[in-house]
Amino acid sequence: EIVLTQSPGTLSLSPGERATLSCRAGPSISISYLAWYQQKPGQAPRLLIYGTSSRATGIPDRFSGSGSGTDFTLTINRLEPEDSAVYYCQQYNSSPFTFGPGTKVEIK
Amino acid sequence: EVQLLESGGGLVQPGGSLRLSCAASGFTFSSYVMTWARQAPGKGLEWVSAISAGGDSTYYAGSVKGRLTISRDNSKNTLSLQMNSLRAEDTAVYYCAKGRGSGWYVPIDNWGQGTLVTVSS
């Protein structure tokens, strides 16, 4: 089973700042099979990024993904209050298609 | 517009059974991998199970294998999850989710709103 770890657990930033979220996979995965989701309180998750760096439909270009092998990053530029949420990475390289534990982004 | 509507959640005693359903609309249901994921209260997401577009192949998380069974009826655009031998740790919101394609190795691009399953005596 591929285990995903995310850091930091919580990120507290001001509007306009940049958020950098990390997702580490063990063992390594192909860049084709890493996704990021956003979940706001009381809502279902929403796909942000797939294939490490491709934005899903309707996702603003403030959101970008990068990485390879075992280390992947979600970057959110010019943070807005609406970006307050928990962000999960998921690998779909091999079953079980595990999620990371999440990073909570708080906007001050 | 893709719509996924879960039903069947509720309170069940440990060791009991429950069957969840998901009514899908707005897309060609038979062309996509479908997934169940869950989220325990205040916790993160957990992938549970997936089924191929044709329904002939399935995958399960180790924590549910042998107790939960995923199935689909492409003639009725319905996804199901039969849950047996339920445990307290199965308490969660269960989400029905659509894959972004027909192959196995695809992200989830649409989620239902979830149905709550509570396992307690």
pLDDT digits (tens, 9 = 90+) for A17-28: 999 999 999 999
Minimal-distance CA residue of chain B relative to A101: B44
Q: What is the DSSP letter of A59?
A: -
User: How confident is the model over A29-49, as pLDDT tens digits?
Assistant: 998 999 999 999 999 999 999
Size of interface A-B (CB pairs under 8 A): 63
CA nearest A72: which of A29, A101, A103, A13? Answer: A29
The answer, yes or no, to whether residue B97 has pLDDT greater than 90, is yes
CA nearest B34: which of B92, B112, B118? Answer: B112
| Length of chain B measured in residues | 121
The answer, yes or no, to whether residue A6 has pLDDT greater than 90, is yes
- Other CB atoms within 10 Å distance of the CB of residue B29: 23
pLDDT band with cut points at 50, 70 and 90 for residue B38:
very high
Q: How many CA atoms lie within 13 A of A99 on its CB side?
A: 25
The answer, yes or no, to whether residue B104 has pLDDT greater than 90, is no
Interface test with A, best of B6, B47, B94, B116 (most A CBs within 10 A): B47
Contact status of B94 with chain A (Cβ, < 8 Å): no
Contact status of B41 with chain A (Cβ, < 8 Å): no
Q: Compare B102 and B83 and report the one with higher pLDDT.
A: B83
What pLDDT score was predicted for residue B102?
A: 82
User: How confident is the model over A60-102, as pLDDT tens digits?
Assistant: 999 999 999 999 999 999 999 999 999 999 999 999 999 999 9
Alpha carbon separation from B53 to B18, B25, B34, B61, B71 (Å, rounded):
24, 15, 7, 19, 11
Q: What is the mean pLDDT of chain B?
A: 97
What pLDDT score was predicted for residue A104?
A: 98
Q: Encoding tokens for residue A59?
A: 């996702």
Contact status of B105 with chain A (Cβ, < 8 Å): yes
- Edge-to-edge strand list for the sheet holding B78-83: B3-7, B18-25, B78-83, B68-73
What pLDDT score was predicted for residue B101?
A: 84
User: How confident is the model over B63-91, as pLDDT tens digits?
Assistant: 999 999 999 999 999 999 999 999 999 99
